[in-house]
Structure 1
């Protein structure tokens, strides 16, 4: 089972603020523990939305809008992707996730399970994705 730990953006992350050295050390230790346990798949911080864009789809076509985007509670500042045996194991790891703003400050992370190919059994077109997955090995 794969889970994504989503770090919510804040005004500080949207301004390009960098984490403190203490927070970087805490995050490094946490990710090293995930790696030692064999559950870490990926993890990274995201640049502020001022360096990104959105694509909006409509019947009239696609519209590209450059950032920044103002509603920070809807934005993501980073993520960690883990693969574990159960939801309980994922929950245990996320309870250990360092506060992304630093201890004592209000913050929030969100955890979402990823779909697996088995979840799409019987859906037309899923075989093309299975073929891609097999190619990636």
Structure 2
């Protein structure tokens, strides 16, 4: 099972305040543990929302809104993609994670990633073949 581990933003991360050397070291060590355990597939920190944009869809219309965005608690500061046996295992790993926002309350959300087989009959053999082909090409890039 794959899970996306979502690190919620804080006022500091949205202000562009970079993590301390101590936090970078702790996170580096944690990432090493994840890799050695065969859990971590990907992981990155994200720039503040002031450097981003949102695209709202309304029928055929697209509306672009540049950041920053107001609701910090709804924003994402970073993520991991992990491969684990269960949600419970993902929870146990998250509980071992250094506080991503030292000195403040922080929140990390755990969400399971859909796998091809989760989509049922609507995900036809042709669509499965296309999905496989797209991801193989993406890996080459």
Scaled by the length of structure 1, the TM-score of the pair is: 0.90
Could you list the structure 1 runs, at least 4 aligned residues long, displaced by more than 6 angstroms after superposition: none
Contact 2:44 2:78 in 1 (8 A): yes
Between Structure 1 and Structure 2, the one with more helix by share is 2
Cα shift at 1:135: 5.2
1:117–1:130 contact (8 Å) kept in structure 2: no
Distance across 2 between alignment mates of 1:11 and 1:134:
41
Q: CA deviation at 1:63?
A: 0.6
- Gap runs ≥5 in structure 2: 137-141
Q: Report the aligned-residue RMSD.
A: 1.7
Q: Which residue of 2 aligns with 1:22?
A: 22
The Cα of 1:122 is off from its aligned counterpart by: 1.1
**Alignment partner, residue 117 of structure 1:** 116
Instruction: Assess if the C-alpha contact under 8 Å between 1:120 and 1:126 holds in 2.
Output: no
Aligned-partner Cα distance in 2 for 1:124–1:32: 36
Structure 1 stretches lacking a partner, 5+ long = none
The 2-side partners of 1:26 and 1:7 are apart by 15
Higher mean Cα deviation, 57-66 or 47-56? Answer: 57-66
